Structure 1
Amino acid sequence: MSQDTLERARTGDEQAFRELVEPHRHELRLHCYRILGSLADAEDMLQETLLAAWRGLDGFAGRASLRAWLYRIATNRCLNALRDAGRRPPPPPSPPFDPPEPTRRGDVTWLQPYPDALLDQIVDSTPGPEARYESREAVELAFIAGLQHLPPRQAATLVLRDVLGYPADEVAAMLGTSTTAVKGALQRARAQLRQHRAAPEDVARPGSPQDGDLPRRFADAFTDGDIEGIIALLTDDAWLNMPPAPHEYQGRAAIAGFFTVFGAWRGRRRFRLIATRANTHPAFGCYLTEPGRPAAHPAGLLVLTPRDDRIHAITWFLGTDLPRHFGLPATVT
């Protein structure tokens, strides 16, 4: 950041302002997503952050870096959004069939997937020296879902400290609190996150041998309506989740029970899957064709979490607008 660019931005030069903030745009959106768990909300908070930065640029004294100043604005905008009484989880969808009784009903129903293509646009994803997580590890679904179980300020503290690697005193300044409070919040957040997140070694890293063949085999079985083929690819303790529906099924028998009822409803309907990636995992845009109609319309996004040579979790995000965020077509013929 040059002083000349900063001064021009302060005088109202929009191009200079864009030069200042553009290198940070994609990482700020990811930061908002980690705290909020929703791509749509993260987009809104990114815009609010940039607008607040534009309006408040005269207040940037330069004691911290511009990047840290932007993170301070983004973090507090997210915390304000979480405190907002008007923010409500989306209503659970009404299934077109009677689903079997789930293993449990989840409470993080607002979770959305994050396109890997957006991760690739981040200019510098190297975390600070005090970070405990690799950048991509900290966007896996299990990690994001775990953050949603934390009180908002604890989640923000953990992300700023353990993901981004900011020192405790800088985090305290961002959150308007003391270093002692930051250390206490971080300790509690770490303990609670461990209860809600799978061990990192249980999840396959991108580029592992099974990352190529396993998704293809799943796609073949799913589009063919081959329930036995799907179940054969799962670990014994696999999970099926379907945000924003709260229904969660664990184990081969429970998942087979769901797909059996689903298969009876499916009948002559056909599914088409288009490969993509979300939260560092293999994923598919899901499209449904009604009998007698040529075009398949969006039916959500499927994300697979591999473990060893099997699938440990199938997360079927049911939002019909999700494929659009992944650059996928509106219909498939």
Structure 2
Amino acid sequence: MTAETRPEELGVSGLGEVDEPVFSGLAERHRRELHVHCYRMLGSFEDAEDTVQETFLRAWRRRETFEGRSTFRAWLYRIATNACLDLLAKCRPEPATGGEVLWLQPYPDRLLDELAAGDADEPETVAVARETIELAYLVAVQHLAPRPRAVLILRDVLGWRAKDVAELLGDSVNSVNSALQRARAGMREHLPAERQDWTGGEQDAATRELVRRFTDASVAKDIDGLAAMLRDDVRFSMPPTPGLTIGRDMVVNNWVEDGFADLGRMRCVHTSVNRQPALAFYLWQEQQGAYLPLTLDVLRITGGAIAEITTFHDDQFPRLGLPERLPADAE
């Protein structure tokens, strides 16, 4: 069965006649793409997981309302979008402000890869999927009000028609088009001006070399070396800790004041999240006799320099499939 499965293909007249195991099997085929959709809407991996579960629960309870006018996949997207809007209305009635998103969480590339195969023959689709999962995009979209955010994602990321979006939101096509214009303007305001210069996609040799140098300088606590790799207007944040720092001097001064140079022995494991290079740092703990998780640095690289560093706490390591510890002889 495909994403376009219709009830009659199952030998029934409607989903109301389908038992729970069959229904769950149909829904599970779309779990990853629905999770990514909810993640774009919410900016939080954990909230997206909860919302997908709520989506499946609502879909099962309302299965008799599926009339077959759209695909089962599109029907699930409608339910998921409304579940996201409900969560936002309850927990985050106001969008993010000030250029940072305190609830932001990383999304491991190994899970995004589950979606890649189906779009391999559509380069434009692949490019949109990559650009709209990067952290800078996630931060920008979280600054939009919930409904314009939903319109933008449904229209520009998923490619829905304005008529279908209007039906989902219970609004007019004119209102949807107006909301889309406002959302696009808001994104231009919050996205980096040099977005067209992002590395994106597969990392080239120069990017890999810069990541290696950044890793070596970090492990050596070489602040001057690190500073030399930063853009003048570099941005640094550490969600959920409040505070967005902009500018090389400010960022470096914060590192000095926070005692970065006095940290003990460190090791690093390379990974990737949100289609960006990420560095998982481990700090030597004598009592444990091992290197234990410290922080995850996610880098945005532009024009051969580091334009943004988003640092996450060690509680993100398990989700990313990173080791719980590194042995004493780790290199």
Question: SS at 2:129's partner residue?
Answer: coil
Spell out the pairing of 1:66-215 with structure 2 (5 A cutoff): 66-85=72-91, 106-122=99-115, 124-125=118-119, 134-198=128-192, 199-207=194-202, 208-215=204-211
Alignment deviations for residues 92-150 of structure 1 (CA, whole Å, 9 cap, x no partner): xxxxxxxxxxxx9655211111111111112635899x989711111111111000100
Q: Conserved in 2, the CA contact under 8 Å of 1:225 and 1:263? A: no
Question: SS at 1:321's partner residue?
Answer: helix
Equivalent AA in structure 1 for residue 19 of structure 2: D
Matched residues in 1 for 2:11 and 2:246: separation? 54
In the alignment, structure 1 residue 13 sits paired with structure 2 residue 9: no
Matched residues in 2 for 1:300 and 1:10: separation? 48
C-alpha RMSD of the superposition: 2.7
Matched residues in 2 for 1:51 and 1:158: separation? 26
Indicate the residue corresponding to 2:39 in structure 1: 33
Offset at residue 269 of structure 1 (A): 2.3
- 4+ aligned runs moved over 4 Å, structure 1: 85-89, 104-107, 125-128, 130-133
In the alignment, structure 1 residue 246 sits paired with structure 2 residue 239: no
Question: SS at 2:324's partner residue?
Answer: coil
Equivalent AA in structure 2 for residue 278 of structure 1: V
Question: SS at 2:306's partner residue?
Answer: strand
Give the length in aligned residue pairs: 316
Question: SS at 1:330's partner residue?
Answer: coil
State which of 214, 223, 229 in structure 1 corresponds to 2:225.
229
Segments of structure 1 that go 5 or more residues without pairing to the other structure are 90-103
Q: 1:131 to 1:183 in 2, by over 3 A?
A: farther
Matched residues in 1 for 2:272 and 2:200: separation? 13
Q: Conserved in 2, the CA contact under 8 Å of 1:53 and 1:70? A: yes
In the alignment, structure 1 residue 58 sits paired with structure 2 residue 54: no
State which of 295, 303, 307 in structure 2 corresponds to 1:308.
303
Q: Conserved in 2, the CA contact under 8 Å of 1:131 and 1:161? A: no
- Percent identity between matched residues is 42
Q: 1:132 to 1:194 in 2, by over 3 A?
A: farther
Matched residues in 2 for 1:258 and 1:167: separation? 47
Q: 1:288 to 1:235 in 2, by over 3 A?
A: same
Matched residues in 2 for 1:14 and 1:140: separation? 36
Offset at residue 186 of structure 1 (A): 0.5
State which of 239, 249, 256 in structure 1 corresponds to 2:252.
256
Is 131-140 or 269-278 further displaced after alignment? 131-140
Alignment deviations for residues 45-97 of structure 1 (CA, whole Å, 9 cap, x no partner): 111111111221111101111111111000000000001148899xxxxxxxx
Question: SS at 2:128's partner residue?
Answer: coil
Equivalent AA in structure 2 for residue 52 of structure 1: R
Q: Conserved in 2, the CA contact under 8 Å of 1:127 and 1:163? A: no
Matched residues in 2 for 1:131 and 1:158: separation? 16
Matched residues in 2 for 1:57 and 1:40: separation? 26
Equivalent AA in structure 2 for residue 50 of structure 1: F
Is 150-159 or 21-30 further displaced after alignment? 21-30
Q: 1:81 to 1:126 in 2, by over 3 A?
A: farther
Matched residues in 2 for 1:68 and 1:127: separation? 21
Indicate the residue corresponding to 2:321 in structure 1: 327
Q: 1:120 to 1:131 in 2, by over 3 A?
A: closer
Indicate the residue corresponding to 2:278 in structure 1: 283
Q: TM-score, normalised by structure 1?
A: 0.87
Q: 1:18 to 1:132 in 2, by over 3 A?
A: closer
Question: SS at 1:156's partner residue?
Answer: helix
Q: Conserved in 1, the CA contact under 8 Å of 2:15 and 2:66? A: no
Q: Conserved in 2, the CA contact under 8 Å of 1:5 and 1:16? A: no
